[in-house]
Amino acid sequence: MRRRTFALAVPAGLVGLAACTSDESESGTGADPSAADPAGADPAGAGPGGGDAPATPEPPAIPIDPTPTVEGAQAETVVGADLRLPLEMTVMVVVKPGWTAPALQLDGMFLGYGEQEDVLRYVAMDQDGTIAWTARRPLSCTGFALSRADEGRAVAVLADVIADGGGSAAGEGGDDAEGRVAITSVTAYDLATAEQLWGPVEVPGPQIAPGLVFASPGDQLMGTGGERVALSASTGEVALSEADLEGGRIIAEHLGTILHTEAEQLVAVSSADGSRLWKLELPAGTDPLAVHVVGEISPDTSLAVIRGLGSGDGAGTVSGLLVDLADGSVVAEGASAATHDLATGTTVVVSGNVVTGLDASGAEVWRHVDTEPLQLVSAGERLAYAARPQEGTLVVLDTLQGVMVQPYDADVSGTLGMPELFNAEAAAAVRFDRERCLVTTTLDESFGMRE
């Protein structure tokens, strides 16, 4: 099948979407990304992954039962010509999980949430389209994470907010209109079965960075948050606190690995026993308190874009490293965003308006220079998706050659779907304006027989 090579107009709701690019308002969660400059520099006060001040938690007016409900039923199937998918996806069963925010994935499972009346409804779904379980949370509990316990079990950690009328947690949460104190807690569940593993455990405040990293709101007028802590996915106990870092900053927790800065070094430690796994030098002059992770960290590759701002004579300068968290090796420098196509083994790296494809050895195999800085979204099944935010168009690149392609049927009209997230088996979460669908791993046997 020949693909025509031109950019495609993107619906207004999708422009600015950048699951792998711009720093997110709740990085490591399913929340929509906040606006960020095309180079990937952090907007002040953007929250996790960048700004320091998370939102103040709010207790629900009516208590919400947090206990997950095991489902085991197939999600609603989406059949209709009004949704435009890349051609390779049209032969697969597509389901509607009810997600309105970006999902996360691990071990063949996807987890996301959507607003339902006055609550958030979390939906955990198998890659074949089966709803495994659902859970309800207050609207302010948008922070969630997937991690891995010591024994290798995939863990889903959801936040909750309760109101303490006695004020026993004063200064750790936010006061509501009646003078009660909102206390943030987190609880861990088996991602596949919803079995409760630990919790609820009280944390200082909302999620502030990718993974199990939390902090109190701090002084939001000054744009600063309180001390951060990182939890163990196995126990829910504090594995590392910034109080122990002598000026360092915790920037992420990923599958049992905690990243933090120490002077001008990036350090990885185990959340299980605190042992140091590796360390590397940050670019000279980097402010350790401004270092952050851009976008999500893929559980399939453990590649992370680490961004920082200069201090002293280098104030205002932006540095970026693409780091393999497995061993601390630097895959690329000057990166503002990156993603990996598991189908071809190509790592796609964005630096402003330049996009490069790297092979397994890290060697550059192609280069694309675009007309404007791109917002990289995702890559999978030989395609990389990016948006031109100024022009309002979608750019799709072949990850083997770096050439622009048109993967959608140009003769079909309807709402354009933007793939946000792929897993190793090619299941994909796709965004249509504000709604998300899941392209499953199940072949649609009725394809070709539809009217």
pLDDT of the residue at 24: 34
Q: Are 182 and 203 in contact (CB under 8 A)?
A: no
Residue 3: the pLDDT is 37
Question: Does 393 reside within a domain?
Answer: yes
Mean pLDDT of the chain: 84
Residue 218: inside a domain:
yes
Provide the pLDDT for residue 58: 72
Average pLDDT over residues 94-110: 97
Span 22-42, pLDDT tens digits:
333 333 333 333 233 333 333
Say if 105 falls within a structural domain: yes
Per-residue pLDDT at 378 exceeds 50: yes
Residue 203 falls within a domain, yes or no? Answer: yes
The residues pairing with 68 across neighbouring beta strands, listed in sequence order, are: none
pLDDT mean over 76-100? 89
Higher pLDDT, 15 or 398: 398
Q: What is the mean pLDDT of residues 415-428?
A: 96
Residue 155 in any domain: the answer is yes
- The three-state secondary structure class of 52 is coil
Rg of the chain over Cα atoms, rounded to whole angstroms, equals 21
Of the two residues 247 and 385, the one the predictor is more confident about is: 385
Tell the residue number behind the tokens 């709402």, with chain if given.
Answer: 415
- Give the span between the Cα atoms of 73 and 451, in whole angstroms: 27
Query: Is residue 347 situated within a structural domain?
Result: yes
Residue 184 forms beta bridges with which residues? 161
Report whether pLDDT(433) > 90: no
Report which listed range, 168-172, 222-226, 230-234, 444-448, is most confident.
230-234
**Bigger pLDDT: 170 vs 325:** 325
Question: Once rounded to an integer, what is the mean pLDDT over residues 73-84?
Answer: 84
In a domain, 53, yes or no: yes
71-93 average pLDDT score: 89
Cβ atoms of 294 and 22 closer than 8 Å: yes
For 138-165, b/e burial (b = at least 16 CB within 10 A) is bebbbbbbbbbbeeebbbbbbbbbbbbe
Could you tell me if 305 and 283 are in contact, meaning their C-beta atoms sit under 8 angstroms apart?
no
Find the range with the poorest average confidence among 49-58, 122-131, 241-250, 406-415: 49-58
DSSP code at position 85: -
On whether the pTM is more than 0.85, the answer is: yes
Range of the domain at 65: 8-240+337-443
- Provide the pLDDT for residue 309: 79
How many distinct structural domains can be found in the chain?
A: 1
3-state secondary structure 145-190: EEEECCCCCEEEEEEEEEEECCCCCCCCCEECCCCCEEEEEEEEEE
Residue 450 has pLDDT above 60, yes or no: no
Dihedral angle over CA of 254, 101, 58, 211, nearest 10 = 0
For position 208, what pLDDT does the model report? 94
Does residue 68 carry a pLDDT above 50? yes
Residue 107 lies in a domain: yes
- In this predicted structure, what is the pLDDT of residue 412? 83
Integer Cα distance of 321 and 22 in angstroms = 15
